Amino acid sequence: AFRVASALSLVVLPCIAALLLTALLQPLTARMRRAGLPSLAATWCTVLAAIIVLAGISILAANRVSADYPRLQTEVKHTAHEVQASLAGAPFHLNSVRLEQYYDNIVHFLSQHKSLIAGTVVTGGKIVLELLTGLVLMIFITFFLLKDGERIWAWLIKGLRPELRQRADNAGAAAWVALVNYVRGTTAVAAIHAVFIGLALWLLGVPLLVPLIILVFVAAFVPLIGILVAGALAILVTLGTKGWIAAVILLGVFLLENQIESHLLQPLVVGRIVRLHPLAIILVLAVGGIVAGIAGAIVAVPAAAAICYAWPHLRGAPPRASPPGTGAV
């Protein structure tokens, strides 16, 4: 199954992304239908709203990277000169020639990656084409899942014997409720992450503010690991542009925000839905990352949560308690 999924990754990944996006958008579509909007109109309104939001975020991030990159280079050069002057004096007395080489390497690295980013945007070739194809496919799949999801599910299980069909139907409903609540809870936690970290970056005057906020938001969907990677990159940018004091302040903000998430947000928002031991989460993330890279790490935990709630129904055993929020779905 893994080999087939890998060979068909251009189809499998958009399907998985569409499933997660549907889990996020389905409550909005259901609310529009309850308000009296026809099913097709409710689906179109939801999908168009999602497209507008995603396109706006992408354009904003690209524009801010293009606008802030020269400022990033300038501030890194300034910080590097200050560090060079400090290390060349007492009590370090480091070789100024070697420091100058390090400085030139940093400037060359930034210039090289600016060209790489510009080249990728203009002549992305196969990568850009695959991304656009996957994005279009994801939107189409999301549309039909929102519009005909129940009919598609009924068609998938209609060939089973009555008893097995009932088990599969109950398992699918439990798994879907767990997935919807997980995606909604994780989105709320990711938004809180982005607001707090974005406010800290804005107060410190760090460049690339909008791209870093978006990175923090997306990274929150990879439990345990994602926020560490995004935090390390944000601290590195802060260190290179604003100095070590600002970097230490941002590190403190990350540590405080991480404690709030671990002891308040995750238990209240996500912990009641994903009843997995931290060791199980780490192992699931490792397997997902090995099998499918970043995409596998993103879907590993929600997939494990869905399986945990579906499995008792498939076995025919008394099901565990349904995840909170069932009535809102």
Q: What is residue 290's predicted lDDT score, i.e. its pLDDT?
A: 81
**Amino acid code (one letter) for 170:** N
> Rounded CA gap, 221 and 303, in Å?
13
Task: Give 208's DSSP letter.
Answer: S
Alpha helical stretches, state H, 123-260 = 126-157, 162-204, 209-219, 226-242, 244-260
User: Taking 80 as the threshold, does the pLDDT of residue 131 lie above it?
Assistant: no
**pTM, two decimal places:** 0.70
> Rounded CA gap, 274 and 114, in Å?
41
Chain segment 188-232, per-residue pLDDT in tens: 888 888 888 889 888 888 887 888 888 888 888 876 677 788 888
Q: 258-264: long-range contacts at Cβ-Cβ below 8 A with a sequence spacing of 24 or more? A: 258/227, 261/189, 261/192, 261/193
User: Taking 80 as the threshold, does the pLDDT of residue 277 lie above it?
Assistant: no
User: Do residues 182 and 216 lie in contact, with contact meaning Cβ atoms separated by under 8 Å?
Assistant: no
Q: What is residue 328's predicted lDDT score, i.e. its pLDDT?
A: 41
Q: Which residue has the tokens 């706006």?
A: 56
Average pLDDT in the chain: 77
Chain segment 240-263, per-residue pLDDT in tens: 777 778 888 888 888 887 777 766
Q: What is residue 123's predicted lDDT score, i.e. its pLDDT?
A: 44
